[in-house]
Chains A and B, each alone.
Chain A
Amino acid sequence: MIERFIKQSLPALLSNRVYFLIVLLIVVVIIMSLISPYFLNARTILDILRMGTVLLLLSIGQTLIILAGGAGIDLSVGAMLSLSGVFLGILSRSGVDIWVAALLTILFGGFLGSINGFTVAIWGLPPLIGTLGAMWAYGALALVITNGVPISNFPREFAFIGDGRILGIPAQILLVALPVFLIIYFFLNWSYLGRWVYLIGVNETAAKFAGIPVTRVRFSLYTLNGILAGIGAVVMASWLMVARPDVGNGMELQSITVTVLGGTNIFGGFGSLFGTLLAVLIVTLVASGLQLAGINAIWQLAVLGFILLGAVSVNQLIFSLKARQSGLST
């Protein structure tokens, strides 16, 4: 019985990325609560999850873009986050009502994303290069506009999104992270457009012959990613109450790490938003658990690297073992 479980059920269980991540999440929670006695506490956990909101937003967009294949990737998300935040700061400083400004910022993010959509999907640049150029251009623009100085003159009530609570739940989770995730989750799994994303990723040529407007779908995904970065910028600014021109530095690598850890195939076609959500939870819990335990932030980077390499290689190994087993049995 146990032998059978270890030989057959366990690999099957672990080769499904979502179960694998759930197991990993439980392991992480156990280790963290052993390291720090403050960890297992509803309030702490909710506070910790708050740190994951912006990462989740960016990773959702990244997941969709990578899913749609064609070597799709967006290296400019971090820079879009920074530049949108600066845009919000400038609007707010020039006296525009903060909520109007927030809305405009989200649109501005969409505009930045659509530039990526233009260069990559329509013009046809390799995504790695197109968004790399955009990353440099946007990131530098954010610095040039502000001269590197953070903008901080947001009205007090603006802090509600980032810092407020509704029924004890942080507002940015209840008002931003959850709705956005649910909307895009249903969109991806229950709408034509969502299924197209997978189809394009699996086989672009077949998708074209099936009449799917590949170019337009990809264009929309890059635009959507910009919109998500714009929302992220609003949340970030409301949380920090300051618009820093370098706030998104390194976010592109984090969002790619999370996406891949979440089981999305880097070549497109396979993956799930749920996996991405679990990966965001794991990464956020590990980062703050290490912080609680007083371990230097620098080592979080290394831990993230090890988790990434470990998770992907263990997953691949199990997958190939399973393939070999089923190959022998049939």
Chain B
Amino acid sequence: MKTFIPGLSRRDFFTIGLVLLEVIIFSIVSENFLSSSNLRSVLRNATELSLVSIGMTIVILMGGIDISVGSALGVVAIIVGWLIQAEVHPLLIGLTAIVVGTTIGFINGSLITFGRIPDIIATLGMSNILRAAVFGMLGGRWITGLPPVFSPLVQGQLFGIPASIFVIFFFYLIFWLFLTFLPIGRHIYATGNSVEAAKLSGIDVRKTRIIGYMLLGSLVGFSSLLYVGRLGSVEITVGIDLPISAIAAVVIGGASVFGGRGSIIGTLAGVFFMAFMKNGLLLLGIPSLWERAVIGFLIILSVGIDLLINKRQAISKFLRIKTRQPQAGEA
């Protein structure tokens, strides 16, 4: 029997092409863009986003979405900060972070499957609650001056190559294998394509969903270690842009928000598209206030162009809009 293995799809090539085009343009316009120190800083800043985006891809593949990742990262990061201050063994801290993150994911998944709350609503509610928890736990004071226990994960080097490359590569490889070759990974795709069909083929959709959210939670937990390692502090606004950035990266990477379509590789390209864009605008001396405007515009443009390529229909629909008459009398 031949098994279906998703390799690089046409859509993945589109995203990768987009990133290459972006790199070429920025390297022509700014001479510092391709310098190794600059590329390193891009990588460093993109590590958390790239890990969280893996989990977001899984959840979006199942037709879900998680808006609470930013606040969840905040809660875990604060706990990590406390444990570092209490000089707990790093391995234990790492374990705690992943366990707490997974628990938050489990709560999200349970609300959605057992509470029957739509994904976007459940995670929106959780996001509010966790954000309040962040405020409450910090109590108006930032956690600052943390010793660099987890910095090697982001800032360290191995054989002259930045550690963040290894972290990103490791996680993407693991999750690519997971989604492609493990039954549960295929269940995730199946659930996203059609819940009914998945149920009829004997897939435990509830379990699959909860596992998906728990995986996202564990990745958020691990990312909080990177966050603390990178900044050495936890601010009150921790992770406020994270859910939106992650969703944007996943969607630029070609996943359908209706589920069933998307790939880890596309997501990685989406993450780097966003990261290079942020960095490139900074290098060009464009005020940081513009950054979001440009990225917002680009999100619309990239997804829109893909749509146009994908659907000739859309073009003809667009051209016909003016001439089409209401056909109320038609049977």
Chain A residues with CB under 8 Å of chain B are 71, 73, 119, 122-126, 128-130, 132-141, 143-144, 147-148, 211-213, 215-216, 253, 256-257, 260, 266-267, 298-299, 301-302, 304-306, 308-309, 312-313, 316-317, 320
**Given contact pairs A137-B296, A301-B131, A312-B118, a sample of 8 additional A-B residue pairs in the complex whose CB atoms are under 8 Å apart:** A119-B300, A132-B248, A253-B124, A302-B131, A308-B125, A309-B122, A309-B126, A320-B116
In the complex the two chains form, what is the Cα distance from A124 to B314 in whole Å? 7
In the complex the two chains form, what is the Cα distance from A312 to B117 in whole Å? 6
Given the known interface contacts A256-B124, A306-B125, the answer about A215 and B321 at a Cβ–Cβ threshold of 8 Å is yes
Q: Is the CB of A308 within 8 A of B124?
A: yes
Given the known interface contacts A133-B299, A298-B136, the answer about A125 and B292 at a Cβ–Cβ threshold of 8 Å is no
Q: Is the CB of A304 within 8 A of B314?
A: no
- Chain A residue at smallest Cβ distance from B326: A213
Q: Is the CB of B290 within 8 A of A316?
A: no
Q: Is the CB of B303 within 8 A of A301?
A: no
In the complex the two chains form, what is the Cα distance from A260 to B293 in whole Å? 29
Our pick among A125, A211, A302 for the contact of B326 (Cβ within 8 Å) is A211
Give chain B nearest CB distance to A63 CB in angstroms.
14
In the complex the two chains form, what is the Cα distance from A317 to B291 in whole Å? 44
Give chain A nearest CB distance to B112 CB in angstroms.
10
Give chain B nearest CB distance to A145 CB in angstroms.
9
Give chain B nearest CB distance to A121 CB in angstroms.
9
Q: Is the CB of B244 within 8 A of A132?
A: yes
In the complex the two chains form, what is the Cα distance from A263 to B19 in whole Å? 42
Q: Specify the main secondary structure of chain B where it touches its partner.
A: helix
In the complex the two chains form, what is the Cα distance from A128 to B63 in whole Å? 13
Given the known interface contacts A129-B257, A136-B299, A144-B289, the answer about A316 and B314 at a Cβ–Cβ threshold of 8 Å is no
Chain B residues with CB under 8 Å of chain A are 65, 111, 115-118, 120-122, 124-129, 131-133, 135-136, 244, 247-248, 251, 256-258, 287, 289-300, 303-304, 307-308, 311, 314, 317-318, 321, 324, 326-330
Q: Is the CB of B295 within 8 A of A144?
A: no
Chain B residues in 8 Å Cβ range of A126:
251, 256-258, 303
Our pick among B120, B292, B317 for the contact of A122 (Cβ within 8 Å) is B317
Q: Is the CB of A129 within 8 A of B135?
A: no
Q: Which of A140, A141, A147, A148 has the most CB of B within 10 A?
A: A140
- Chain B residue at smallest Cβ distance from A73: B120
Give chain B nearest CB distance to A264 CB in angstroms.
11
In the complex the two chains form, what is the Cα distance from A136 to B244 in whole Å? 10
Q: Is the CB of B327 within 8 A of A211?
A: yes
Q: Is the CB of A301 within 8 A of B297?
A: no
Given the known interface contacts A301-B128, A306-B129, the answer about A136 and B293 at a Cβ–Cβ threshold of 8 Å is yes
Chain B residues in 8 Å Cβ range of A136:
244, 292-293, 295-296, 299
In the complex the two chains form, what is the Cα distance from A125 to B252 in whole Å? 12
Give chain B nearest CB distance to A284 CB in angstroms.
16
Q: Is the CB of A309 within 8 A of B115?
A: yes
